Amino acid sequence: MRILQVSAEIYPLLKTGGLADIAGALPAALLAQGCDARVLLPGFPAILAGLQDPVRVGSFGTPWGESVTVLFGELPAVSQGEHKVYGYVLQAPGLYDRPGNPYEDANKRPYADNHRRFAALGWAAAHLAHGLDPLWRAELVHSHDWHAALAPACLAVWNAGQGPRVPSVYTIHNLAYQGVFWPQNFGDLGLPGHVFSVQGMEYFGQISFMKAGLSYASHISTVSPSYAREIQTPEQGCGLDGLLRGRAGALSGILNAVDDTVWNPATDAHLPHRFDVRNLTGKARNKAALQAEVGLTVDAEAPLFTVVSRLTEQKGLPLVLAGLQEILSRGGQLLVLGNGDTQLEQAFALQAKAHAGLVAFKMGYDESLAHRIFGGSDITLVPSLFEPCGLTQMYGLKYGSIPLVRRVGGLADTVTDTDLETLDDQTASGIVFNHFNADDYRRAIRRAFALYRRRSDWNRVRQTGMRLAFDWASAAQHYTNLYQSLI
């Protein structure tokens, strides 16, 4: 099966969140399943720089009269051993040659021409399904998140005409980011007028890329079974729950996995000391090294709570702030790595200043430090308001840092709460709380301390987590079965 994966980010070339981790791991995992997968990406500088020996396969004109060249080559940084990942990259400097964040300017404002930048991506996918590269024609297009969500609409328009019908899968990584634009931009998209309708991509008078994906994809998937259910409710449907309920028969949740070549404490080159489930000596050393590195008091006994996250409303960070005293009064420490919302950045900076040695805040994005944090942390905090899947709780599990999460989305699907029953049957892997409020969260913090004091139980829970697979082979199998059913 020739499958084209379309996304705006790909680890390790360009990443703003979990989407990149998934887009970077899935192609090699599909190749390992015998699937002929290639990727399509916008030509951001970091992505073009990762394309080896590019050749020009063709070009196409955009609806607003710009010409986009499609380059092809291997992406060695994404390849895994014999599973070489080949990619098509759009060369359109006018659209993509901007440094920094791929979606917004230095003032954190979305680029005014984002609809054009990502419409080009959608049309490129449709062209690659219809012969732009004479040597390889996609039999199915699998696009990810709103940036790639126009692809199913472009394909549907093409499917209505001559030529082969090409099915599409659209994966929602986060329904909260929809790519909504003013209606006067519709003309730039090159789609027929009927697409701007309630049955198409019209969204409260505006145009929504997300909705285009949901309306036109042959199949919709999202990144955990729980989130697939939650987005069909008004609470989590972001205004699209009606549409999603209507498409429930073509909607499923496939749980994300962990890329073992990147996130494995036994081989992780970012860690000062490597370790595994049989020997956790390295873990203790990493904790001391981490405390020293970030300016926390080096103290083996103090439970170290950590957060690695975008600082946004989604991630439940106000709860982390509200529960800080609960951690400090019991002798714990808190380390936060993240950036985003200015108010949250300021609030954590303030706490770090007020509690030097006990609270540390590293503002920014630091891939290597993120690894060292999971390597040295005792408890990974993910108290999200909503969470399509969440990867950091899985990284915490793999690295022997017990996750403390809210029972929502993928967090509910990946972490088993610790109680007498789950301790007894050895399924307990973390601390899970139910309601998004400070009381429930604080209670969970107290339970984490209680578990920490019961060392043999603590070790057992930690070891259960470290043994969980979250392997890409089984996730990729789910995707290939899905593709098979659609082609």
Q: Which residues bind ligand GLC (CB under 6 A)?
A: 17-19, 22, 173-174, 223, 256, 387-391, 410
Residue 114 amino acid letter: N
Could you tell me which residues are beta bridge partners of residue 381? Answer: 404
CB of 303 to ligand GLC, least distance (A): 25
Q: Which does 309 bind (CB under 5 to 8 A by kind): ligand ADP, ligand GLC, none?
A: ligand ADP
Q: Which of residues 318-347 bind ligand ADP (CB under 6 A)?
A: 337-339
The full DSSP string for 194-225 is GGSSTTTTEETTEEEHHHHHHHH-SEEEESSH
CB of 170 to ligand GLC, least distance (A): 13
From residue 189 to residue 218, the character string flagging contacts with ligand ADP as x (rule: CB under 6 A) and all else as - is ------------------------------
Q: Which two tokens stand for residue 47?
A: 């992505």
From residue 15 to residue 44, the character string flagging contacts with ligand ADP as x (rule: CB under 6 A) and all else as - is --xxx-x-----------------------
Q: Which two tokens stand for residue 428?
A: 């307990």
Residue recorded with tokens 């969500």: 149
Rank residues 5 and 174 by Cβ distance to ligand GLC and give the closer one. Answer: 174
- Name the nearest CA neighbour of 50 among 77, 72, 68: 77
Q: How far apart are CA 31 and CA 36, in angstroms?
A: 6
**Is residue 12 within the footprint of ligand ADP (CB under 6 A)?**
no
Q: Which does 337 bind (CB under 5 to 8 A by kind): ligand GLC, ligand ADP, none?
A: ligand ADP
Rank residues 190 and 410 by Cβ distance to ligand GLC and give the closer one. Answer: 410
CB of 445 to ligand ADP, least distance (A): 20
CB of 15 to ligand ADP, least distance (A): 7
In three-state secondary structure terms, 6 is strand
Q: Which does 223 bind (CB under 5 to 8 A by kind): ligand GLC, ligand ADP, none?
A: ligand GLC
CA distance to 13, 31, 364, per residue, from 220 (Å): 26, 22, 33
- Name the nearest CA neighbour of 8 among 165, 153, 177: 177
Q: Which does 341 bind (CB under 5 to 8 A by kind): ligand ADP, ligand GLC, none?
A: none
Count the residues of the shown chain that bind ligand ADP, applying the rule CB under 6 A: 18
CB of 339 to ligand ADP, least distance (A): 6
Residue 243 amino acid letter: L
CB of 391 to ligand GLC, least distance (A): 5
Out of 255, 370, 405, 408, name the contact with ligand ADP by CB under 6 A.
Answer: 370
**Is residue 367 within the footprint of ligand ADP (CB under 6 A)?**
yes
CA distance to 143, 151, 378, 388, per residue, from 247 (Å): 17, 18, 42, 18
CB of 397 to ligand GLC, least distance (A): 14
- Name the nearest CA neighbour of 479 among 301, 277, 274, 255: 255
Question: Residue 193: left (phi > 0), alpha (psi -120 to 50), or beta?
Answer: alpha
Out of 365, 438, 447, 460, name the contact with ligand ADP by CB under 6 A.
Answer: 365
Out of 171, 222, 224, 392, name the contact with ligand ADP by CB under 6 A.
Answer: 392
Rank residues 130 and 173 by Cβ distance to ligand GLC and give the closer one. Answer: 173
Q: Which does 188 bind (CB under 5 to 8 A by kind): ligand ADP, ligand GLC, none?
A: none
Q: Which does 102 bind (CB under 5 to 8 A by kind): ligand GLC, ligand ADP, none?
A: none
CB of 308 to ligand GLC, least distance (A): 13
Rank residues 5 and 62 by Cβ distance to ligand ADP and give the closer one. Answer: 5
Alpha helices in 129-181 (DSSP H): 150-159
Q: How far apart are CA 307 and CA 381, in angstroms?
A: 5
CB of 55 to ligand ADP, least distance (A): 32
Rank residues 18 and 122 by Cβ distance to ligand ADP and give the closer one. Answer: 18
What is the pairing mode between strands 67-74 and 379-382?
Answer: unpaired
CB of 149 to ligand ADP, least distance (A): 17
The full DSSP string for 267-332 is T-TTSSS--BTTB-HHHHHHHHHHHHHHT----SSS-EEEEEEEESGGGTHHHHHHTHHHHHTTT-
Three-class SS string for 442-482? HHHHHHHHHHHHCHHHHHHHHHHHHHCCCCHHHHHHHHHHH
Give residues in contact with ligand ADP (CB under 6 A): 17-19, 21, 308-310, 337-339, 365-367, 370, 389-392
